[in-house]
Chain A
Amino acid sequence: SHHPQVLTSTHHNMAKSRTKHQPSLSKSSSHSDKNPLITLYNEYLSKTSLKLKIIDAFLVYCFFTGIIQMLYVTLVGSFPKNSFLSGFILSVAMFVLGVALRKQTNRDERKDFPDILPERAYVDFVVAGILILLVAVNYMG
């Protein structure tokens, strides 16, 4: 029972001396009793750039708009069905466009889209957004 502990601790020390993320590992090991959600939240706030945070805020906004409409439908029913579909699909489509913009402008993921500049992604987002708004206004009735 002694030996495994010694072995792991030496392995751990060796690992510590080799890796660059030594300080963060030690931090996480010392705070291992904290809630992973809170850790996620803190890391998110510190790690993500302002641009991405703005996109995420927009996504959350669209998401809640959609949720509220679904709640309304389950309570009251989908009487002017065209209005319901128009409003709900508008929220979903905005959300999807926001996600697409995030993927295409995020520095870490940009290598998935080698030939799309972030400016091009933005223009795509704006044009598609205007189109979907036009469609929604017409279908709303």
Chain B
Amino acid sequence: MNKKSVGLTILLCIIAIIISINAEVIKKPKILMVVETKNAKSSHTKMIKQLNQIGEVNMVTTQEKTWKLEEYGETKYDTVVLMTPTINRVPEALKKNALLNFFNEGKNIIIIADKTLPEAYTEFLMDSGIEFENGANFIVDHFNHEEEDGLHQLITSTAMNRDVIRKDVGKIMYKGVAMTNANKSPLVVPILTGSKTSYVLAEDEQEAPVAIGEEAMLVAGVQGRNGARITVIGSMDMVSDSFYDKQATGNNAFGQELFLWATGQRGILRHRQVKHHVVGETTEKYMYTINENITYSVIVEEYDQTKGGWIPYVANDLQLEFIMLDPYVRTSLNHIDAGRYESTFQVPDTYGVFKFKVDYRRAGYSYLIFNNKQTVRPYRMDQYDRFIPAAYPYYVSMFSAFIGFFIFAFLFLYTDNGKVKLE
């Protein structure tokens, strides 16, 4: 009896180990929220609840000195939400270099601004491509505003990136400063912009406006090359409870979708199972020959927390390059089933070391860039054409030279001056 139970427990342990190795563990992210005072809890409860649904929220204030973004070289959190717009000096843990290191580790940063932001944050954002001008004028829209005062600064907008905000949330209410992509950085993803009729005046109202229409970003994102994201929400009011509760606006639903993207819980792409082989065979060869037909296939997945983790990514604009300094072949990858993409093409007539390169960048998704090296060799000596039709005259001349040579040699030997000797 004892032996049986021991054996059974060992078997169960082994099964559990195997399951745990094979299963993909979906961890909830750890979110650090930094506020100025604990009052934020009362004015932004719905936003905090949304964040709690996404991950584990740890709220600290700037007065406390006990918290840090990283410890002993390892980052402790996956996302940091900075809701400290009016402080003058940021704590040590949030200086520009600390934020930069945190971002370089692949972790996300969410900054919620008001009329101003601390200088450390604006410098960090300037380096990332987003220009936030402290004390700038509020964005104004005379056509899409809510009736509050004559200034028309409480605007609404529906111009948003539909790859980030996947639901149709309706119009969003906003009051505050707008940001611009001053250097036209390609990493900046405008998530919510002002509508075409909005504008931001410059300090000196005689000059040209700072931003017009959809240049003015209300919620701006930066997609880093390592997969990390920065999100800047230009107005604290936009995510406050009062705006969330307003009827006929979609701020609540917008916040839900936005925080999923901003914490990296949606729109992260990855690839697996790169396979390539000659058409008709099944095994991968170390070297392909020139002018061979090969098939390449790869599985691309997207991470979406609301759908349970890694789901197949379906798109019709993936491209494959077969490149050696120049892309000799550039074809589209066709979606076959369940996130598997395939492409069949002919290896070019040049030999060398190529790579299969996929370079897929779309606003709202992380960048999918990967390559696999591949050697291509020239023909073996017995793979060339045996008899080339263009060379037939030369073959004929050679055989005729043979015949002529032999006949002549024979004749010359057996003639005498006068007649041919035939003995």
Contacts and interface: CB of A to CB of B under 8 A. Distances in A.
Interface size class of chain B, counting residues whose CB lies under 8 Å from the partner chain:
20 to 34
Interface in A12-28: none
Interface in B402-423: 402, 404-405, 408-409, 411-413, 415-420
A80 B398 contact: no
B397 interface: yes
B395 interface: yes
Nearest to A107: B417
B45 interface: no
B388 A90 contact: no
Contacts of A87: 393-395, 397-398
B401 A58 contact: no
B386 to A, nearest CB: 9
Contacts of B393: 68-69, 72, 87
Interface string A90-115: 11001000100100000000000000
B390 A76 contact: yes
B381 to A, nearest CB: 10
Contact of B394 (A61, A83, A129): A83
A80 B386 CA distance: 12
Contact of B398 (A50, A54, A68, A86): A86
Interface stretch (A2-10, A31-39, A133-141): A133-141
A59 to B, nearest CB: 10
A38 B359 CA distance: 81
The dominant DSSP class at the B interface is: helix
Nearest to B408: A58
B400 interface: yes
B398 A94 contact: no
B1 interface: no
Interface in B159-197: none
B408 A83 contact: no
Nearest to B386: A141
A104 B415 CA distance: 17
B391 interface: yes
The dominant DSSP class at the A interface is: helix
Contact of A83 (B388, B402, B418): B388
Contacts of A54: 408, 411-412, 415
A126 interface: yes
A51 B390 CA distance: 37
A137 B411 CA distance: 24
Contacts of B415: 50-51, 54
Interface string B367-399: 000000000000000000000101101110110
A55 B402 CA distance: 16
Contacts of A126: 409
Nearest to B412: A54
Interface string A64-93: 010011001000100110011011101100
B401 A122 contact: no
A55 B404 CA distance: 11
Contacts of A137: 398
Given A50-B418, A51-B412, A55-B412, A65 B401 contact: yes
A127 to B, nearest CB: 11
Nearest to B418: A50
A141 B391 CA distance: 10
Contact of A65 (B395, B400, B409, B419): B400
Nearest to A137: B398
A51 B417 contact: yes
B398 A62 contact: no
A68 B418 contact: no
Given A79-B390, A80-B388, A133-B402, A49 B417 contact: yes
A80 to B, nearest CB: 4
A50 B390 CA distance: 39
A80 B393 CA distance: 11
Most chain A CB within 10 A, of B388, B408, B420, is at B408
Contact of A129 (B391, B405, B416): B405
B419 to A, nearest CB: 7
Nearest to A58: B408
A66 to B, nearest CB: 8
A61 B394 CA distance: 15
Interface of B: 388, 390-391, 393-395, 397-398, 400-402, 404-405, 408-409, 411-413, 415-420
23 contacts: A50-B417, A50-B418, A50-B419, A51-B412, A51-B416, A51-B417, A55-B408, A62-B401, A68-B393, A68-B397, A69-B393, A69-B397, A72-B393, A84-B391, A87-B393, A87-B398, A91-B401, A94-B401, A98-B408, A129-B405, A129-B409, A133-B401, A140-B398
Given A57-B408, A69-B393, A136-B398, 8 more contacts: A49-B417, A58-B408, A80-B391, A88-B397, A91-B401, A133-B405, A140-B391, A140-B394
Q: Which 5 A-B pairs have the closest CB atoms?
A: A87-B394, A83-B391, A49-B417, A83-B394, A58-B408
